Amino acid sequence: MANIPAIHVDDENAAGKIAHLVPYLCQYQHLYNLTGDKIPARCKFTVQKISRASAQGSTAQRQKLKPRYQIEFSNTSTSSCSKQYLTILNLQPGYGVTQLVPPNNEESMEVISGKSIPPRTVAIIVTELLAAASSKPGFKMRDTFIALVTDRPTSFEDYI
């Protein structure tokens, strides 16, 4: 795991910080490691970078813009009674987890067969944990978007 917050060996609160951090990092890693390769795809989930060239303003103004991505999800099942419940999470490189869909950390939203959610645009920001590193040459970071599809409404609030 990269970008883990440093804890100084002489910090008298080190044990408490570690006790707080380890469960949180384990939850983050658990979400990061989720795969769905054993389940046949009944949906289409895409994340596409939005070109800065399409933004208004001068080249210098466009370069200051935060990278943006468009997220789309469709229930492609052909069964008329197939309901899917969707939650989309953003796993950030500073170990933040944000629920993008549905908003306000609600239970997963229903997407019926043949329907899609409205496209969602997300701006990528550098987290406070990585702010100092972001100004150094060669800095790179990567957000991970995951679509969690279930057959009943589910809350992922404990991971956020």
Phi-psi region for residue 3, left (φ > 0), alpha (ψ -120 to 50) or beta? left
The total of other beta-carbon atoms located within 10 Å of residue 125's CB is 14
Q: What is the mean pLDDT of residues 34-61?
A: 71
Question: Tokens standing for 60?
Answer: 């210098």
pLDDT at 45: 92
User: 61 pLDDT exceeds 90?
Assistant: no
Instruction: Give the predicted TM-score (pTM) of the model.
Output: 0.78
Q: What is the mean pLDDT of residues 126-142?
A: 81
Q: Which residue has the tokens 């496209």?
A: 119
Which one, of 67, 64, 63, lies nearest residue 47 by Cα? Answer: 67
> Is the C-alpha dihedral spanning 55, 137, 96, 83 positive or negative?
positive
Cβ–Cβ under 8 Å, residues 49 and 84: no
In sequence order, what DSSP letters do the residues of 108-145 get, joined into one string? PEEEETT-BPPPEEEE----GGGHHHHTSTT-----EE
Give the pLDDT band of residue 57 (cuts 50, 70, 90): low
Q: How far is CA 57 from CA 62, 65, 122, 124, in A?
A: 6, 10, 20, 19
Question: Three-state DSSP class for 32?
Answer: helix
Is the model more confident about 63 or about 101?
101
